[in-house]
């Protein structure tokens, strides 16, 4: 009978510090993850900036240095191909690069469906042929026809992308939208749909806008996280690029509780506590009817965001 391959723990491959990053501080080597945020927060533009950085060796956002450079493969589902070219050319112009000199490839198929077996095979064969160091898929919502809120539907798609990463040793960045009214929720929890997105990610970038101020937070599975990075969009007649500011993002007032969704108010109330909350205390804090609160707690429990103990309800995430 066949057995699974094993080896002693001390013989596992070591990775030197300089080989642990694709883009130092921003994206781990061979990491899968999400670039998330609300609409009009420059998610796609940040993804294109990462593509130019990895393909050229120039610092992403003028701050984060790529430690591994090479071919990048893009699939951009929501923009016309000429728009993608114009944006890439504008980013290159900012860094005094010529787009023709970059090993940057774009999938021109009109659609890719990760929930369709033939499309998964075609994508895997394309990655196998081109051998990119970074694959960017933008956005997730255009890559399927499943219900993003159902973990059982999301898991196989994310597992396929993890398999791509492991089989072909390439990083995978998935652009994904945030839920409405998620301004007070931890970045990873603010992603739309199942909590599997947060659990799946090795590296995650999250963009938020407060008035005219755009700022980014960075989460890693195996490295320290970053927050409060202010971003500015530098533009001229022919060049455009997101740039990290030397100044921290300006402090902004939190979204008033009455403007957050009931689900987010419950998540926030539990995230702020290091002990379980009884349902009557939650109802008082969140100002939600008991029936609505019980329904929300059942949903959050199904998404593995909260758990029920003998003393009440508790967030599955550590308190800030």
Q: Which CATH number covers residue 56?
A: 3.40.50.300
Instruction: With respect to residue 8, please indicate whether it lies within any of the assigned structural domains.
Output: no
Question: Which stretches of the chain score pLDDT less than 70?
Answer: 1, 17-18, 180-189, 247-260, 274, 317-320
DSSP 51: H
State the DSSP H helix or E strand holding residue 145, giving kind and residue range, or none if neither.
Answer: none
Instruction: With respect to residue 3, please indicate whether it lies within any of the assigned structural domains.
Output: no
- pLDDT value at residue 246: 75
- pLDDT value at residue 231: 95
Query: Do 136 and 166 fall into the same domain?
Result: yes
DSSP 304: T
Instruction: With respect to residue 203, please indicate whether it lies within any of the assigned structural domains.
Output: yes
Instruction: With respect to residue 243, please indicate whether it lies within any of the assigned structural domains.
Output: yes
What are φ and ψ of residue 218, in 5° steps?
-130, 130
Query: Do 185 and 302 fall into the same domain?
Result: no
Number of domains in the chain: 2
Query: Do 273 and 133 fall into the same domain?
Result: no
The tens digit of pLDDT for each residue in 216-266 reads 999 998 888 888 899 999 998 889 999 998 765 444 434 444 456 788 888
Query: Do 56 and 149 fall into the same domain?
Result: yes
Query: Do 294 and 152 fall into the same domain?
Result: no
- Enumerate residues 6+ apart whose C-beta is below 8 A from 79: 44, 87
Whole-prediction pTM value? 0.76
**C-beta of residue 103 within 8 angstroms of C-beta of residue 51:** no
Query: Do 267 and 224 fall into the same domain?
Result: no
- pLDDT value at residue 112: 97
Query: Do 287 and 236 fall into the same domain?
Result: no
What is the Cα–Cα distance from 230 to 211, expressed in whole angstroms? Answer: 13
Instruction: With respect to residue 94, please indicate whether it lies within any of the assigned structural domains.
Output: yes
CA gyration radius, the chain: 21
Domain housing 296: 257-315
Is the N-terminal amide bond of 238 cis, ω within 30° of 0? no
- pLDDT value at residue 317: 63
């Amino acid at each position: 009978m066949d057995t699974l391959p094993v080896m002693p723990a001390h013989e596992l491959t070591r990775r030197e510090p300089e080989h642990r990053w694709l883009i130092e501080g921003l994206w781990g080597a061979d990491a899968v993850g999400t670039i998330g945020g609300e609409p009009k927060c420059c998610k796609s533009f940040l993804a294109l900036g990462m593509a130019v950085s990895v393909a050229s060796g120039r610092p992403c956002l003028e701050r984060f240095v790529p430690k591994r450079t090479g071919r990048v493969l893009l699939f951009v589902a929501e923009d016309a191909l000429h728009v993608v070219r114009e944006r890439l050319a504008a980013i290159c112009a900012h860094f005094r690069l010529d787009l023709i000199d970059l090993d940057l490839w774009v999938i021109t198929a009109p659609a890719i469906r990760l929930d369709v077996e033939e499309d998964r095979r075609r994508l895997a064969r394309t990655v196998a042929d081109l051998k990119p160091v970074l694959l960017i898929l933008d956005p997730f919502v255009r890559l399927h026809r499943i219900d993003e809120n159902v973990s059982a539907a999301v898991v196989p798609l994310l597992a396929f992308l993890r398999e791509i990463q492991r089989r072909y040793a390439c990083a995978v960045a998935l652009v994904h939208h945030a839920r409405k009214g998620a301004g007070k929720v931890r970045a990873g929890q603010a992603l739309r749909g199942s909590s599997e997105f947060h659990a799946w990610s090795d590296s995650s970038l999250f963009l938020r806008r407060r008035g005219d101020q755009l700022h980014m937070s960075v989460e890693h599975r195996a490295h320290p996280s970053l927050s409060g990075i202010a971003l500015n969009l530098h533009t001229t007649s022919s060049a455009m690029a997101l740039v990290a500011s030397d100044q921290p993002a300006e402090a902004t007032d939190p979204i008033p509780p009455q403007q957050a969704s009931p689900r987010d108010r419950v998540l926030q109330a539990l995230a702020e506590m290091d002990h379980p909350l009884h349902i009557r205390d939650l109802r008082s804090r969140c100002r939600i009817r008991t029936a609505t609160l019980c329904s929300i707690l059942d949903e959050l429990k199904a998404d593995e965001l909260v758990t029920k103990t003998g003393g009440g309800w508790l967030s599955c995430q550590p308190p800030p």
